[in-house]
Structure 1
Amino acid sequence: MTDARATRTGAAAAGGRVRHNIGEVLDLLRPDFPGVTIPKIRFLEDKGLVKPERTPAGYRKFSTEDVDRLRYVLRMQRDHYLPLRVIGEHLDAIDRGLEPPPIEPVVPTVPTVALAADGMPSAESFTRRDHLRLSRKELLKIAEISEDLLTQLEQFGLVTPRIGTGHYDTDALVIATTARELAEFGLEPRHLRAFKTAADREVGLVEQVVAPQKRGRDASARGRAEETVSEIAALSVRLHATLVKAGLRGR
């Protein structure tokens, strides 16, 4: 079933009584889109891409059609890097009984970062090498950021091109995309310097732990060191994320 037909199928089912609150919608979407968040769903609503019902108390109630529309939007963003304006035009066409234009890749598909079951990066994601190389123009297009935002990210050391080639890798793409999403909440690159400082400290701690392994003389020493780095890195990210979550809950 195509995305367009799936959305229409959702429209047919919307006539039923099934309605979901925003937390339930999040649970329905996360198996396919681990990075989706409640603020992201609200942002897509603000952009007019989904229009859930409101109870007299003001709570959102999403129909099956609404959930299918969100799946369509998230898939078009993830798999085809379409801007929200274009996705909105597709949805309008679907609403009017038309077929949206065929989707053809305009850029190479970016590899998916390996994630653990809880949505956090796994040890595998720290050892993965995809050799992705993006030009500045491609990075701007795929991450949907402005030249000014990229310049600021570079000024604060958050994004850097590869030495010698001037190309950008997967990490640069993820950072640029995340910075754009944070900008939607008013966080600018200058606010993100604290993340870079904290990351540099964690890197220094990991390197300190594995230094004795790297000095080993046997052939497998380097391999063991790399495994240790990836495992500690994944654990440190989990600890950091959990501490932030616990801190926010305690407020």
Structure 2
Amino acid sequence: MTQEASPRLHLVTGNHVDRLPDDGQPDDGRAAAPVVAEGSVLADLLRRAEALDAQVAAASTPRLPRGSGVVLAGAALTVVLALLGRQAWQLPQRGPGGVADVTQSLVTFLLLCAALCVWSAGRLVRPAELLPSRGAAPLWWALVAGSALVSLAAALSLASYAGTGERPADLLLRCAVPLVPAVLAGVLAADAGRPARVRAALGTGLVTVPMVAVGWALLSSAAGSADLGDVLGMTLLSGVAPFGVAVAFVAADRRHRRAG
């Protein structure tokens, strides 16, 4: 045996130098086996912990409501606001220049209705999670807020016809109120896929369609012969129908047709 600079002892046999273990046991690889086994167990535990973390993260991630849920919420909101609009509100007058003598109570009611619609749209659509680009979500919010203001003005215009015996002559223009925002919302979500386009368009309908119902409800509140069914029928004609056309246009896969 010989001793090198290292404090360990080495056994010289022929042309080979074997290191003796510190405890005097033969170095046949048995001592390293428990270390390898412990390392594999630790790696397995780490893999299981990572898999568990992934499952918890997937379960805690909020899921976007389906399109049917958005439609049902819009229908419920439309009926509720139509019922509220049929109450005994002090309606504006129809002057030579348009709407006149709008009461503060009616304006407050319409603002609350519009705010509720905008909040519901944002809550159900969640544009920050739905739209891929950063600038698309603020544009969607601006589009929805603008649609709410236009719908509020349209509701006031309808209410001003109450008691005058005149019929609103701008029905086609009123049909554009729910149609245009839905198409623009689909354009904003053009790169996010078909489900995102449809959901973004449906979000605008949560604002425009219920506000259309409010306008017809205010108009019918002065006429004793009109009931809730008439209000919902006119809402279907001037609100739901053009909005449905816009959603169908947004949902169409035009890229696939061009590729074909």
Q: Same fold (TM over 0.5)?
A: no
Identify which of structures 1 and 2 has the higher relative contact order when contacts are C-alpha pairs closer than 8 Å and 6+ apart. 2
User: Hey, which of these two has a bigger chunk of helix by percent?
Assistant: 2
Higher CA-based Rg: 2
User: Hey, which of these two has a bigger chunk of strand by percent?
Assistant: 2
Scaled by the length of structure 1, the TM-score of the pair is 0.29
Scaled by the length of structure 2, the TM-score of the pair is 0.28
